[in-house]
Amino acid sequence: MQDYQSEFIGFLLETGALTFGDFTTKSGRKTPFFLNTGLYRTGSQLERLGEFYAAAIQARLGMNFDVIFGPAYKGIPIVVTTAQALSRHAHDVAFCFDRKELKDHGEGGTLVGHKLKDGDRVLIVEDVTTAGTSIRETVPKLKAAAKVELAGLIVSVDRQEKGQGERAALTELADEFDMTTFPIVNLDQILTYLKAHQGEENVPELSEDLWARIENYRAKYGAE
């Protein structure tokens, strides 16, 4: 792992955003681990989050994009803090996000921020994707706004799960929309970190039962 990746996993545990127990994902899967970005609560936490996204973007994509887009609702604070972080690293990029409901007064429309135009290379910033459901809802909105190019998709955590078929959701999305997809960290890296840092502050001690549930979940939903 790169230093920023190890630090990001520590950040997830410190903030409580990465939790273990019984949860249901947007795609309906019952999962023993969950990433809840709604648990970022302070300005300093959001500032750090943006720096992690910026580090991963620069490492994997460079500057090959014009606009970053955050899907409502959780993508909104992510896209704002990422834009701020990128500006601190000499890339003052435009950003926009969407509304869940169409606004019929004022400026109208569903998009807020940068007005997309033909040829814009758009990087989507998202918290996490399991089966790719939210991204398949997002892309048509972007395509309807202008003839944009999809520069890529970054998520904070790759759960390394099957999408609609047997392949990983991020791999499916990359092929389906002809774009680069990548995470800040993946589940393998998180589990390796947990095993290596047991007993340290903020690192949960997972029971044998929970480890078994994680392995069973991955056996059922893990991608090839």
Alpha helices in the chain (DSSP H): 3-15, 43-60, 75-88, 133-145, 169-177, 187-196, 208-221
| 3-class SS string, 24-39 | ECCCCCEEEEEECHHH
Contacting residues for 188 by C-beta, under 8 A, at least 6 apart:
160
The verdict on whether 91 is a catalytic residue reads no
Which is catalytic among the residues 89, 103, 147, 195? Answer: 103
The verdict on whether 114 is a catalytic residue reads no
Q: What angle do CA 167, 171, 176 make, to 5 degrees?
A: 105
Query: What SS3 state is found at 178?
Result: coil
Q: Give CA–CA dist 58/184, Å, rounded.
A: 11
> 176 is written with which tokens?
């389906």
For the CA atoms of the chain, what is the radius of gyration? 18
Q: Give CA–CA dist 171/140, Å, rounded.
A: 19
- 158, 183 Cβ separation under 8 angstroms: yes
> 172 is written with which tokens?
């499916």
- 40, 46 Cβ separation under 8 angstroms: yes
Catalytic residue list: 103, 105
